[in-house]
Amino acid sequence: MGVRRRNRLATWLLSLLGILATGPGCAGNFQNDPQVEAFIDEMVQRHHFDRAALQKLFAGARKREDILEAISRPAEKTKPWYEYRKIFLTPDRIEGGVRFWRRNADILERARKAFGVDPAVVVAIIGVETRFGANTGSYRVIDALSTLAFAYPPRSKFFRSELEEFLVLAQEEGIDASKATGSYAGAMGYGQFIPSSYRNYAIDFNKDGKRDLWDSLDDIIGSVANYFHRHGWKAGEPVAARVNSRRNIPDSLLSDSLEPERTAADFAREGISSTPPMPPQQPVALLKLELKDGPGYWLTTRNFYVITRYNRSPLYSMAVYQLAEAIRDAYHKSRS
């Protein structure tokens, strides 16, 4: 074999090793990236991080093309309600919710007393997010947040902020920033808290000196309940009710924000009622979702809006609500 051919073969082998080293879906690292260097400067100045430690961390971080693909096609934006619903309202997930509730009934009751949040909704959130902890995400958080902060311009500002929050969180909680895993968007633990939510809403519910959303079911359940409490969950109030009529309702009556601005009595005067009926003075919003045979309508309350603070999609909020109701029914039947 000639020298030139051997050199070409050596170059090809080195390239192949480089591809393999980055793992599936990866496309290089962030070492010497000017954006990263500027970010490191900010972290050193703002939070007194060790520069060399951050440079080492980012030298090992990987840009992942599969993350960029996943963030561009979330199910909430690509599926109509009647298809989206099928993802979460399944017998397996409902039965899993019943088992989770049984195993953690004492913690859920303690969280209900502390925060006034419906246990069924807490269980449903964990079921929607991670199948009750079965799938908390296999992406390294440093890879996910670095990819989205430095290689995804549409939301780079948001994810740079979350990357900053993650590094501060890791320092505060003693988390190894190079090993923590989560979703493709950097959400962590059973409840899939993004770093800013972890820092602001996670709690040490078992009083062991740390907030652990991967392994402490006390902290996991308490933190989800605290999140809803802090966003204004109202104990004992309904969440949503199906509108009785399937006629086309004027879009002018719909609410873009889902924050209730009218009462159920206001909608009743427009000929809009629900089953079960809402109390006349209950503040509600009107929501339209796509069913297979046309539009469907719901009256939704402040508590429905609070669920959208966890994920802004009304499809997500409706899936959580309906899963919570299904789990509650199955749980109580299993005890009778």
At 255, the pLDDT band (50, 70, 90 cuts) reads confident
The pLDDT score that the predictor gives to residue 21 is 41
Mean pLDDT, the chain, integer:
92
Share of the chain above pLDDT 70, in %: 92
The tokens for 252 are: 């002018």
Q: Is 149 inside a domain boundary?
A: yes
pLDDT at 75 over 80: no
In this prediction, residue 76 has a pLDDT band, given cuts at 50, 70 and 90, of confident
Give the whole-angstrom CA distance, residue 335 versus residue 205: 27
- Over residues 89-103, the pLDDT tens digits come to 999 999 999 999 999
CATH of the domain at 46: 1.10.8.350
- Does the residue 51 lie in any domain? yes
pLDDT at 22 over 60: no
Check 129, 162, 164, 165 and give the catalytic one: 129
* pLDDT band (50, 70, 90) for residue 28: low
Examine residue 65 and state whether it is found in any structural domain, yes or no: yes
According to the model, what pLDDT value does residue 17 have? 39
Q: Is residue 35 situated within a structural domain?
A: yes
How does pLDDT run across 227-247, given as a tens digit for each residue? Answer: 999 999 999 999 999 999 877
In-domain check, residue 268: no
Q: Which domain holds residue 174?
A: 27-72+138-182
Residue 82 lies inside a defined structural domain of this protein = no
Please tell me the pTM assigned to this model: 0.89
**Is residue 216 included in any domain, yes or no?**
no
pLDDT band at 219 (very low <50, low <70, confident <90, very high): very high
∠ CA(306), CA(75), CA(180), 5° rounding?
A: 75
Q: Is the pLDDT of residue 330 over 90?
A: yes
Average pLDDT of the residues in 209-224: 98
Task: Write the CB contacts of 46 (distance below 8 Å, at least 6 apart in sequence).
Answer: 164
**60-77 average pLDDT score:** 90
Tell me: pLDDT of 170 over 70.
yes
Tens-digit pLDDT profile for residues 135-155: 999 999 999 999 999 999 999
Number of domains within the chain: 1
Q: Classify residue 63: in a domain, yes or no.
A: yes
User: What DSSP letter does each residue of 268-289 carry, written as one string?
Assistant: HHTT--EESPPPTT-EEEEEEE
What integer is the mean pLDDT of 65-91?
91
Distances (CA, A) of 54 to 23, 142, 237: 22, 11, 47
**129 flagged as catalytic:** yes
